[in-house]
Amino acid sequence: MMLKEIIGIAQEAGEAMLKIYNDAQDVEISRKDDDSPLTKADLASHHIIVDALKELDPETPIISEESGVPAYDERNGWDTFWIVDPLDGTKEFIKKNGEFTVNIALIDDGIPVMGVVYVPDKETLYYAEKGKGSFKQVGTEAPEPIYSTASTSDDELIAMQSRSHGSGKLVEQLKEKGLNVVKTIPAGSSLKFCLVAEGKADIYPRMGPTMEWDVAAGDAVYRYSAREGSHSSPLTYNKEDLKNGSFLIGLKDNVEF
């Protein structure tokens, strides 16, 4: 497939974002129709990624957070498509805490078969491909495989928690569902998937809504971090409404959310 090229595209977009991030004392913010924040970095990354994907793979359609979503009547016929979040964690970008990412994923027959998550401020790359596993690379170091083991609800669990959307009631909510959560780790953007994929946390519960482009690349990194085969995931793609409901990543058990 085109994994090497996709990694290069994500890194180029990340460098453009980082230039804006480092050059501006205050990040200039506008608002989208849903009142979510938008910066010049979102748009710069979007144009780099979409233009590069169109050149690299002109036959495959693209959904990007910043380009609008084609009507379902059109998308319903897509077997394969790219889905992109040019800047995941815009709130973290604005807060300048470094926890923002570039997310690019390839969806085939409803599942992510390739995913790249790049963390520009940390020069850290996570990537995965179906059948080949998940990897982490820091700076110019050699990539290393990452692994995770799906937990059970009886285990003592470390849970990821959204840094910007987290709830102080998360542990209580999870315990009500029979989960023995002993610790939470806050993080921004798709890093939450990646930290579960590399075994630094056991589960990532998401109580609020996300969009498919928020989760696809991180979902791929988690799915293919299994030592054999792939982990199951509750997330699906190219739904009529691209909004996801609540979900839980990292458990063998089926826990309803």
Tokens 């090497």 locate to 4
- What does pTM read for this prediction? 0.93
Q: Mean pLDDT across the stretch 228-250?
A: 95
Backbone φ, ψ for residue 220 (5° rounding):
-60, -45
pLDDT at 122: 95
Query: Looking at 51-55, 130-134, 174-178, 211-215, which range is the least confident one?
Result: 174-178
Measured CA to CA, the distance from residue 244 to residue 177 in angstroms comes to: 20
Question: Which position has the higher pLDDT, 167 or 128?
Answer: 128
Distance CA 192, CA 207 (A): 14
The alpha carbon of 176 is separated from its chain's Cα centroid by a whole number of angstroms, namely 27
Q: Which domains does the chain have, with CATH numbers?
A: 3-146 (3.30.540.10), 156-249 (3.40.190.80)
Rounded to an integer, what distance in angstroms lies between the CA atom of residue 101 and that of residue 156? 29
Closest CA to 163 of 97, 232, 242, 81: 97
Tens-digit pLDDT profile for residues 11-54: 999 999 999 998 866 566 666 555 466 688 899 999 999 999 99
> How much is the mean pLDDT over the chain?
91
Tell me phi and psi for residue 4, to 5 degrees: -60, -45
Segment 235-256 shows an average pLDDT of 91
Residue showing tokens 């075994």: 199
* 197-211 confidence digits (pLDDT tens): 999 999 999 988 999
* Residue 58 pLDDT greater than 60, yes or no: yes
Task: Say how far apart CA 224 and CA 228 lie, in whole Å.
Answer: 9
Enumerate the β-bridge partners of residue 30. 38
- Round to whole Å and give the CA distance between 255 and 257: 6
Task: List beta partners, residue 181.
Answer: 157
Asked whether 249 and 220 are in contact (CB, 8 A), the reply is no
At 161, is the secondary structure helix, strand, or coil? Answer: strand
